[in-house]
């Protein structure tokens, strides 16, 4: 079966996963995902929980936050702050890369 080629569904940056799918993908509880939306870490499209659709970026952010909170024994707020700062660094690095400046 290893010779088979698996074709998946592409989860785009936005609007792909329901709340339930997101909860399962993070191996988390529903309240945890809802909290991340309330504090602004995740930004699903859709008006209410039933209509929420999360994208790949939300999934990657949620899992990264879970790792940070677990490994540093940090609160959701502190882990969210670390996440924001890491995003900012990545944004600045991308600007440097665009300008052709190599960074270590």
Partner 1 sequence: MEFKDYYQSLGIERSAPEGEIKRAYRKLARKYHPDVSKERDASERMKAINEAYEVLKDPEKRAAYDRLGTGWQPGQDFHPPPDWDTGFEFRGSPAGGGFAGDFSDFFASLFGGATGARHRAGFQGRGEDHHARILIDLEDAFRGATRAVTLRVPELDAEGRLAVRERTLNVHIPKGIREGQVIRLAGQGSAGPQGGRAGDLYIEVAFKPHPFYRVDGRDVYMTLPVAPWEAALGATVKAPTPGGPVEVKIPPNSQSGRKLRLRGRGIPGEPPGDLYLVLEVVLPPAQTDRAKQIYQTMARELAFDPRRGLGV
Kindly list the residues in this chain that would bind partner 1 in the complex (CB under 8 A): 2-13, 24-27, 56-57, 59-60, 63-64, 67-68, 70-73, 82, 86, 94, 97-98, 100, 104
Residues 6+ apart with CB under 8 A from 57: 13, 14
Query: Smallest distance, Å, CB 19 to partner 1?
Result: 14
Shortest Cβ distance from residue 104 to partner 1 (Å)? 6
Pair 65, 84: CB distance under 8 Å:
no
Closer of 53 and 64 to partner 1 (Cβ): 64
Q: Which of 86, 89, 29 is nearest to 61 (CA)?
A: 86
């Amino acid at each position: 079966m290893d010779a088979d080629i698996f074709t998946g569904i592409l989860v785009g940056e936005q609007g792909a996963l329901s709340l339930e799918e997101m909860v399962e993908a993070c191996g988390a509880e529903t309240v945890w995902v809802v909290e991340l939306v309330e504090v602004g870490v995740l930004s699903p499209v859709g008006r209410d929980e039933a209509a929420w659709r999360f994208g790949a970026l939300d999934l990657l952010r949620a899992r990264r936050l879970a790792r940070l909170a677990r490994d540093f024994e940090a609160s959701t707020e502190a882990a969210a702050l670390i996440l924001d700062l890491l995003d900012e660094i990545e944004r600045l690095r991308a600007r440097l890369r665009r300008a052709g400046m190599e960074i270590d």
